[in-house]
Amino acid sequence: MQGSNNKTILSGLTSDEMRPILSNYPSFRSSQIYKWIISGIDSFEGMNNLPLPLRRELAEKCTLNPGKVTSTQRDTDGTVKLAISMDDGAVIEAVIIRDGKDRITACLSTQAGCPAGCVFCKTGMIGYKRNLTASEIASQFLLLKKNEKGISHIVIMGMGEPLLNLDELRKAINFFTDKKGLNISKRRITVSTYGIAKGILDLANNGPDIRLALSLTTANDELRQRLIPASRENPLPRVKEALLYYQKKAKRRITLEMVLLKGINTGASDAKAVREFAQGMDTVINLIPWNPVEGIEFEGVPLCAPTQKEITDYALALENEGLKVTLRLKKGRGISGACGQLGSTSTSKLES
């Protein structure tokens, strides 16, 4: 694709996709450049196995990463958050999460801002600017990779609603999973959605065959539509029908993500509603105690994180309903890099 300076952006392209762009050169040059890009290099000058004239031509006509890292924050728990500024002024955030010794996850964004408007999410507060390109999605991974070489998993759970940018996301996933390059297994890539039935069906029919997570939060549809305003167009019965179809096609367990809000969605009746929604599906419930964001309210009352007792009681209630439950670790809170906190780098609301 072309950047704002009319230079061709190479990040996010496989060596095969790069070949037509470099048709004046032997095909092996595309493979060389591709290997340099996935290694995390940030300039053509450093590609020392390319002839100097080619490096100069590439610098004149092409660019590597479309964004520039404007800040790097590190939490004491090992979490790293990058703020990446695009040419048009859009600022996005991407995060590295360390979960034990062997699992290092890149959390990537698909939009600048988010149109879903979830009332418990910082990104929802800043509004929506635009979709990101495949190059912008891929470059987040490459920029994170410079901070951590051993990234093993990818979660598309950063800023934005992935299924509203599915075409570009597909291209980025193709880059991540290319066997000649990063070769990340699709089983290690998870896409999280608030529940767009049309997009879920599209994934089921056209791939990619990744893991799917639904940001459920509550199975009380009336409450959910107040907490996630965009979900009004996709009521839960329609979402469940799409999930059942996806599971039949993909043969994969679906994660139901529950952001726990003190006194709002953690009662016994909430647990029963989740069981009813999950009935007939192979699911795991991932509990996410709300990560505090200053100034967020729900219907005039400040949101609060649940107490430890509230979390424990709700997890037990879900287990008593026959559901499998996991608890999300509190990672990245110290740098506003945890679930629901992305967007803190932006100082004002985005304009569409």
Q: Which residues contact 23 (CB under 8 A, 6 or more apart)?
A: none
What interhelical angle do 308-320 and 268-278 show, nearest 10? 40
pLDDT tens, residue by residue, 84-109: 999 888 999 999 999 866 799 999 99
Task: Tell me how far apart the alpha carbons of residues 116 and 306 are, in angstroms, rounded to a whole number.
Answer: 23
pLDDT tens digits for range 132-176: 999 999 999 999 998 888 899 999 999 999 999 999 999 999 999
pLDDT digits (tens, 9 = 90+) for 249-296: 999 999 999 999 999 999 999 999 999 999 999 999 999 999 999 889
Spell out the domain ranges in the chain. 8-63, 68-335
pTM of the shown model: 0.93
Residues assigned a catalytic role: 93, 339
Q: What is the pLDDT of residues 204-255, one digit of tens each?
A: 999 999 999 999 999 999 999 999 999 999 999 999 999 999 999 999 999 9
What is the three-state SS of 237-249?
Answer: HHHHHHHHHHHHH
Structure tokens, 277 = 């929604």
Q: Does domain 68-335 have CATH number 3.20.20.70?
A: yes
348 pLDDT band, cuts 50/70/90, is very low
Omega before 292 cis (within 30°)?
no
CATH T-level assignment (fold) for domain 8-63: DNA polymerase; domain 1 (1.10.150)
Tokens 């390319």: give the residue. Answer: 50
Q: DSSP character for 219?
A: S
